[in-house]
Amino acid sequence: MARWIWKFGEFEIYHNLLLHNRRTQYGWPSPPVWKVYSPDSCVRFTREISGRGGTIRVWARGEFAVTVWQGRRKTEYGGQHEIPLGDGPMRLSVTVSNRESFPCLYVEGGVESDESWLADDLAGSPAPADSCAWFDAPDKAPDVFPFACEPIRYVKKEPVEGGVLFDFGRETFARTHFRFSGVGDYALRFGESREEAMSAQWCVIRREVKGAAGADYDAQAFRYIFSSDAAAEVSAEYEYLPVTYRGAFRCDEAVINDVWDVAAYTFHLNSREFFLDGIKRDRWVWSGDAYQSLFVNRYLFFDRDIERRTLIALAGKPPFEAHINGIVDYTFYWMIGLYEYYETYGDLDLLRRLFPQARRIMAFCRGRVDPDGFVRGRERDWVFIDWAPMDRTGALCGEQVLFSRALQSYGNICALLGEDSEGAAAQADALQKAVLASFWDAEKGAFVDSYESGKRFVSRHSNILACLFLPMDEARRQSLYEHAILNDDVPQITTPYFKFYENLVHCEMGSGEGLEASIREYYGAMLKLGATTLYEQFDPTQSGAEHYAMYGHPFEKSLCHAWSCSPIYLLGRYRAGVKRTGVAYETFEVAPKLGDLKSFDCTVPLPKGQVRVRMDEGGVTVCATAPGGALLLGGSRYELEPGKEISVPSR
Amino acid sequence: MARWIWKFGEFEIYHNLLLHNRRTQYGWPSPPVWKVYSPDSCVRFTREISGRGGTIRVWARGEFAVTVWQGRRKTEYGGQHEIPLGDGPMRLSVTVSNRESFPCLYVEGGVESDESWLADDLAGSPAPADSCAWFDAPDKAPDVFPFACEPIRYVKKEPVEGGVLFDFGRETFARTHFRFSGVGDYALRFGESREEAMSAQWCVIRREVKGAAGADYDAQAFRYIFSSDAAAEVSAEYEYLPVTYRGAFRCDEAVINDVWDVAAYTFHLNSREFFLDGIKRDRWVWSGDAYQSLFVNRYLFFDRDIERRTLIALAGKPPFEAHINGIVDYTFYWMIGLYEYYETYGDLDLLRRLFPQARRIMAFCRGRVDPDGFVRGRERDWVFIDWAPMDRTGALCGEQVLFSRALQSYGNICALLGEDSEGAAAQADALQKAVLASFWDAEKGAFVDSYESGKRFVSRHSNILACLFLPMDEARRQSLYEHAILNDDVPQITTPYFKFYENLVHCEMGSGEGLEASIREYYGAMLKLGATTLYEQFDPTQSGAEHYAMYGHPFEKSLCHAWSCSPIYLLGRYRAGVKRTGVAYETFEVAPKLGDLKSFDCTVPLPKGQVRVRMDEGGVTVCATAPGGALLLGGSRYELEPGKEISVPSR
């Protein structure tokens, strides 16, 4: 079965390049702020043929030249479409050159293009070509990303300030087509909120139409559109990644169901070529944000391919000279995420393909360690962790914790591939010990952000990361939980980004009873104010358009942000209680918990099937369609048989 | 004075990319066969401003966004063309994104774009931007290479085989414009020879016109054009690098004057964005070919910029994973050429800019040394040296010689820049000793190609390279000269490429009397057969169209090849006798020699002037317009005073 093939990584590099060049703000293009790589302009595809070659038909994106080697005899076919190859053995070589998109190839006939072909850039070593099931016909080439599309209509049209305001009822990401009253100059403003669309000064996404009677735009984010032409008409098509909703959740509480639905929609909007941060302004791929999306995806779409694409795009190309997104912690999340990706899907092939770059990335990180073994931000490094006050003096606790976990992940990857990790596991171990020795404040019973400043500042962030990623004894873990996480004197988390990790800690530390309350109070309040997707950040004490301000501007907050979608993960993981225990879910456990709910009915995807968990005060019913599962309930363990429902009444 | 600026290297990378994607053969595109790099799609330009910024006007190729930092205060101007900067101190930052050509920037007004700006790719360290005097106005942007153009006309139009054959009188490189008798399908064939243009099967450069009444083509090589439309008309414009002919040569012998003129024209045709190999088929940049062009350029154009562009383009970008052009020796020539470039122009700035890549290139080479210190071809390496039979078993003598010289050159570069060469000079030294120990065959009195095969094969090539690049005592040098170079039993050199080095050896070893004979017999014979430019190779025993065949095809020999232009260098260097002795010609010597001539009048360029040397049997007259020169004649030394003629009669 022939497929379009390309040099591994180039599909992602190309679409990542397009994506990062699409951002605009206030009517101006807004170029990337980190290095975005370009595809190679020329790739050579080769295939050894032992038997009959037959006749082949060749398609490529770009110019191509076909050469056949029979021993040292070389026959050149140039860019001929149909070629009678004759009998093997022979080596078929097709060089494709393409500066517009990226070199890719489709061959059908006696020999077909697939991952048995090798590809190289005429300098590095040939490696298996990559492909994707989507691109399986000459006219389905990978330089056009195959989004799905469906017409949507505005629900309200309102004459206002001499123009007209369209309201599409909820946030969307859609292609738009405008017809105006005649040829003229018009202003269009796309707002996530009504206020934004009405703000001539601060609306982030806007277009100027010059001397035209109509205009068509690629998909962008909006709920409202203001047109300065009062007689304008607009049609739109929602553009989305075709993906199956494999997870589901319903419980007895409407607001939690609503949050789940809105989270699912928000997450879908942000799941495109890759996992985006938000759909309005950046629409970029941020590694720390994407890391959280991995969690959500596994309880909603279980779409391996988008995780794979995202990890490849973030890895970039050699030389690796700056942290991913310029952020120290984001490089670490990438490495941690790559190993967890393997654990989730058992995809050793991707580890193998990405290993050369993973090695470069780890060498870069290890090359920036200070003599005491700690990483500190160097020139042009962004030490982020979160939008929150922290004592960032010198070595920051959270960075060491993430670095040690990244080292451990890298060590695990090397072990799987039989590669030399150059002592990554030992370095991780030493670093973990050093963190305990340097950052633990016995008096405060928690980790401090910095041991160098002498300020002994305790943040939730350092302690949350330590709790999640740092091995330690239970007494210490309980201590930090009490003194840092349950301690109201420690400043609260304000972003859903770290709220997720905090909730994880609460759930893991056995006191996840506040999960529903947290969802209700934070996301429920957001929905009550009319949110149709989940915001980047939310402060219930604000009112009106205050909610839309961020980064020093009135409408720069993203009202549709991926990092806010964690309830999908948290409910599936800690209410349905589904947890992968073996690689690729060879084994998994179901340990359901009602929490603050009266009943729920939750479906969690598995690689080849799903597990449905229903629970109410009367008991639990579980059914998995794939093997390997066990129900853990009240101290008992029940093996799950595929397709067979198990019901356990409450005691 | 404002100029367009770009990230160092990107101008050359971009034009090199275009150039390598222009090759066609037999009607098909012929993609590159080595890695050709692409420019970064996004570059950030920054400039610290201490005083008043004033108002600036901004032009860019691509989208851009302007940001001004005043301390931590950030003001964003998006892509505005005119910006009032106000007072400093401030940091002006302009990010330019361009996928079509390459990011470049022009700023005029209170602050102007020039090499005081820094540029970076958002990952690596900022480094001084590059610029070129050509690009000094908003409408003179560097993505269009500023070739000059002038109309040329065919000298003959001949109806033939139902079509028409245009003869332009000599080889040229020109844009063409066709008008046909009406809308239709037509075949066009561009031939360096009449036979080639008339060969429907084997003409290398051809175009098919489909359903059109006219056609326009970018510049390409031809002397003859065949059109299948007998009523076709063609107009053409010769396209060339605007460059000054600063060297000149006239002597008493017409054939040598003709060879010089034809060599100058041939060389000019091949001197474009970079030094090309030949203008018809490859029109690519081959490092070994380009290395020889450096010699010729210094006695004809003395154009520093084309050397600089060529060295930058060949260096490529990181990671460096394969030899330049895939050829082991060509990487070594690049390093040798870079150091000689410095010696010629004193351009420490280029050394500094190229050093990071030079270090990667040398690390690559040194990483491929076998435990015995020798380099041997690895997988996918092409061990070339020349189109000639050699004993290529294991370590090849010529490669070691070139490697040791490259190591030495690198060591010199490091010393100039105060960089650590990691013992390059010592490694060069050890390698040179090892070459003497392993490859010298005392019985044969010469170097053998391979010591591993036991065949003790002596080629001219190994001995020529050793003679030119390997330190040794004079007795040994004399021995190899007699036993390998003057020995008719050793197979003759057949390419002008190595003929140049052989002539160098003859001239250096004091027995350069055969220079004129060699020019007469080889090039003179070529001209006698009607060559209007110098061929890639020439065998006087062949006849007719046999002369045009190479690489197994009837017309694949290049009839206009840069490596054949060495007479320009040889006559200036060994007849006028002009030799640089100090860096950048701070000192130079003139040691003229009549050789086999009765008289000559030769002008050789200097960095800031020229030196004219006239000689006949009566004596020598020399005049240099720049200081530092000395005339060496008959054992005497005469200091040259700028602008003052010195005449020394023969004794």
Give the model confidence (pLDDT) of A130-176 as tens digits: 999 999 999 999 999 999 999 999 999 999 999 999 999 999 999 99
Interface of chain A toward chain B, CB-CB under 8 angstroms: 17, 21, 25-36, 38-42, 63-65, 78-80, 95-97, 99, 121-124, 318-319, 321-322, 326
Count the domains in chain B: 4
Written as one letter, the residue type at A452 is E
CA distance B26 to A188: 52
Binning pLDDT at 50, 70 and 90, where does residue A51 land?
confident
Binning pLDDT at 50, 70 and 90, where does residue B387 land?
very high
Residue A603 scores a pLDDT above 90: yes
Nearest to B188 by CA among B163, B206, B166: B206
**Inter-chain touch A65–B38, beta carbons under 8 Å:** no
**pLDDT, averaged across chain B:** 97
What are the tens digits of pLDDT across the range B27-58?
Answer: 999 999 999 999 999 999 999 999 888 999 99
**pLDDT, averaged across chain A:** 97
Residue B474 scores a pLDDT above 90: yes
Q: Which of B176, B208, B240 is the last residue of a domain?
A: B240
C-alpha distance from residue A439 to each of A17, A402, A431, B384 (Å): 40, 14, 11, 60
**Inter-chain touch A78–B29, beta carbons under 8 Å:** yes
First and final C-alpha spacing in chain B = 55
**Inter-chain touch B17–A41, beta carbons under 8 Å:** yes
What are the tens digits of pLDDT across the range A348-370?
Answer: 999 999 999 999 999 999 999 99
Q: Are residues A447 and A485 in the same domain?
A: yes
What are the tens digits of pLDDT across the range A11-32?
Answer: 999 999 999 999 999 999 999 9
**Inter-chain touch A26–B78, beta carbons under 8 Å:** yes
Q: Give pTM, 2 decimals.
A: 0.96
Residue A221 scores a pLDDT above 90: yes
- Asked, for residue B139, whether it belongs to a domain, the answer is no
Asked, as a colleague might, if the bond just before B319 is cis with ω within 30 of 0, I would say yes
Q: Are residues B35 and B88 in the same domain?
A: yes
% residues pLDDT > 90 (chain B):
97
**Inter-chain touch B35–A121, beta carbons under 8 Å:** yes
- For A584-613, what is the mean pLDDT? 97
- The CATH number for B602's domain is 2.60.420.10
**Inter-chain touch B17–A78, beta carbons under 8 Å:** no
Binning pLDDT at 50, 70 and 90, where does residue A511 land?
confident
Residues in chain A with CB shorter than 8 Å from the CB of B361 are none
- Asked, for residue B256, whether it belongs to a domain, the answer is yes
Adjacent-strand bridge partners of B278:
B561
CA distance B159 to B166: 9
Pairing of strands A588-590, A629-633: parallel
- For B206-224, what is the mean pLDDT? 98
Q: CB-based contacts of A216: which residues, under 8 Å, 6+ apart?
A: A175, A176, A177, A178
Rg of chain B over CA atoms, in angstroms? Answer: 27
**Inter-chain touch A17–B99, beta carbons under 8 Å:** yes
Q: Which of A240, A262, A286 is the last residue of a domain?
A: A240
Pairing of strands A28-29, A63-70: unpaired
- For B624-629, what is the mean pLDDT? 98
Binning pLDDT at 50, 70 and 90, where does residue B91 land?
very high
- For A467-496, what is the mean pLDDT? 96
A348-366 and A328-345 helices, crossing angle to 10°: 160
Cα atoms found within 13 Å of the Cα of residue A515, Cβ hemisphere only: 30
- The CATH number for B383's domain is 1.50.10.10
**Inter-chain touch A35–B123, beta carbons under 8 Å:** yes
What are the tens digits of pLDDT across the range B525-584?
Answer: 999 999 999 999 999 899 999 999 999 999 999 999 999 999 999 999 999 999 999 999
Report the chain A residue with the minimal C-alpha distance to residue B39: A38
Quick one: pLDDT at residue A83? 97
Quick one: pLDDT at residue A351? 98
**Inter-chain touch A35–B26, beta carbons under 8 Å:** no
Residue B475 scores a pLDDT above 80: yes
CA distance B300 to B573: 11
Q: Which two tokens mark B383?
A: 């061990």
- The CATH number for A206's domain is 2.60.120.260
Nearest to B422 by CA among B362, B473, B378: B362
CA distance B377 to B370: 10
Quick one: pLDDT at residue B158? 97
Quick one: pLDDT at residue A441? 98
ipTM (interface predicted TM): 0.95
Pairing of strands A73-78, A127-128: unpaired
Binning pLDDT at 50, 70 and 90, where does residue A58 land?
very high
**Inter-chain touch A96–B32, beta carbons under 8 Å:** no
Residues in chain A with CB shorter than 8 Å from the CB of B26 are 78
- Asked, for residue A137, whether it belongs to a domain, the answer is no
Nearest to A169 by CA among A216, A126, A218, A224: A224
CA distance A451 to A394: 8
Q: Are residues B616 and B599 in the same domain?
A: yes
Q: Which two tokens mark B24?
A: 């066609």
Report the chain B residue with the minimal C-alpha distance to residue A123: B322
- Asked, for residue B603, whether it belongs to a domain, the answer is yes
Shortest Cα distance from A244 to chain B (angstroms)? 34
What are the tens digits of pLDDT across the range A384-439?
Answer: 999 999 999 999 999 999 999 999 999 999 999 999 999 999 999 999 999 999 99
- Asked, for residue A138, whether it belongs to a domain, the answer is no
Smallest Cβ–Cβ distance between B321 and the set A80, A99, A123 belongs to A123
CA distance B317 to B422: 22
CA distance B132 to A307: 45
Q: Are residues A638 and A545 in the same domain?
A: no
Binning pLDDT at 50, 70 and 90, where does residue A512 land?
confident
Adjacent-strand bridge partners of B67:
B76, B93
Domain range holding B165? 148-240
Quick one: pLDDT at residue A621? 98
* Interface contacts A/B by beta carbons within 8 Å: 117
Q: Which of B542, B572, B602 is the last residue of a domain?
A: B572
**Inter-chain touch B65–A28, beta carbons under 8 Å:** yes
DSSP calls for B325-390? GGBHHHHHHHHHHHHHHHHHH--HHHHHHHHHHHHHHHHHHHTTB-TTS-B---TT-B--S-SS--
Q: Are residues B182 and B75 in the same domain?
A: no
What are the tens digits of pLDDT across the range B304-342?
Answer: 999 999 999 999 999 999 999 999 999 999 999 999 999
CA distance B240 to B536: 20
Q: Are residues B565 and B639 in the same domain?
A: no
Interface of chain B toward chain A, CB-CB under 8 angstroms: 17, 21, 25-36, 38-42, 63-65, 78-80, 95-97, 99, 121-124, 318-319, 321-322, 326
Q: Are residues A476 and A617 in the same domain?
A: no
Binning pLDDT at 50, 70 and 90, where does residue B124 land?
very high
C-alpha distance from residue B167 to each of A78, A299, B190, B193 (Å): 28, 74, 10, 9
Tokens 């006698």 correspond to what residue?
B528
- Asked, for residue A376, whether it belongs to a domain, the answer is yes
Output the CA torsion A505→A511→A516→A518 (10° steps).
-50
Q: CB-based contacts of A640: which residues, under 8 Å, 6+ apart?
A: A590, A611, A622, A623, A624, A627, A628, A629, A630, A631, A646
Q: Are residues A410 and A488 in the same domain?
A: yes
Residue B243 scores a pLDDT above 80: yes
Quick one: pLDDT at residue B258? 98
**Inter-chain touch B30–A64, beta carbons under 8 Å:** no
- Asked, for residue B269, whether it belongs to a domain, the answer is yes
CA distance A321 to B38: 18
- For A531-541, what is the mean pLDDT? 95
Shortest Cα distance from B628 to chain A (angstroms)? 45
Q: Are residues B380 and B525 in the same domain?
A: yes
Quick one: pLDDT at residue A580? 98
Q: Are residues A228 and A261 in the same domain?
A: no
What are the tens digits of pLDDT across the range B411-438?
Answer: 999 999 999 999 999 999 999 999 999 9
Q: Are residues A161 and A295 in the same domain?
A: no
Residue B651 scores a pLDDT above 90: no
- For B210-226, what is the mean pLDDT? 98
Tokens 């009319």 correspond to what residue?
A530
Quick one: pLDDT at residue B414? 98
Quick one: pLDDT at residue A318? 96
**Cα–Cα–Cα angle for A295, A301, A303, nearest 5°?**
85
**Inter-chain touch B38–A41, beta carbons under 8 Å:** yes
Residues in chain B with CB shorter than 8 Å from the CB of A30 are 65, 78
Q: Are residues B97 and B171 in the same domain?
A: no
Shortest Cα distance from B326 to chain A (angstroms)? 8
Weakest-pLDDT range from A175-184, A536-545, A598-607, B198-207: A536-545
Quick one: pLDDT at residue A411? 98
Report the chain B residue with the minimal C-alpha distance to residue A30: B65
- Asked, for residue B357, whether it belongs to a domain, the answer is yes
